[in-house]
């Protein structure tokens, strides 16, 4: 039988993979993909908890997360395109112009 714990473990593993992607990759696209993965992992947890409590509030939150993720991707990709035009590269480590 699939318990809530199964989904939560899956969620935390996916979250860790996404976090690893954000921390380890220097390719801006991979970083953004990692963020998407983390958001999705959180969604799995939300739906699992919604199931645990037997109501739909958690699913409403997932709906909002999806909308915000869409907004985040639009801005993030626009930033990447702007960065690429400037540096001819999307290595996020090279964005050091504002570093003190």
Smallest separation, CB 46 to another protein (Å)? 9
User: Residues with Cβ < 8 Å from 23, sequence gap 6 or more?
Assistant: none
- Considering the complex, state which of residue 1 and residue 97 has its C-beta at the smaller distance from another protein: 1
Beta bridge partners of 27: 91
Smallest separation, CB 100 to another protein (Å)? 19
Smallest separation, CB 97 to another protein (Å)? 16
- Considering the complex, state which of residue 93 and residue 100 has its C-beta at the smaller distance from another protein: 93
The Cβ of residue 91 has, within 10 Å, a number of other Cβ atoms equal to: 12
- Considering the complex, state which of residue 70 and residue 100 has its C-beta at the smaller distance from another protein: 70
Question: How far is residue 61's CA from residue 33's CA, in Å, rounded to a whole number?
Answer: 21
């Amino acid at each position: 039988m699939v318990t809530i714990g199964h989904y939560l473990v899956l969620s935390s593993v996916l979250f860790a993979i996404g976090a690893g992607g954000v921390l380890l990759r220097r390719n801006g696209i991979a970083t953004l993909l990692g963020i998407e993965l983390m958001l999705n992992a959180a969604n799995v947890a939300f739906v699992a908890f919604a199931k645990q409590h037997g109501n739909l509030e958690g699913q409403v939150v997932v709906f909002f997360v999806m909308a915000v993720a869409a907004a985040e991707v639009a801005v993030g990709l626009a930033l990447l395109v702007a960065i690429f035009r400037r540096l001819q590269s999307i290595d996020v480590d090279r964005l050091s112009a504002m570093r003190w």
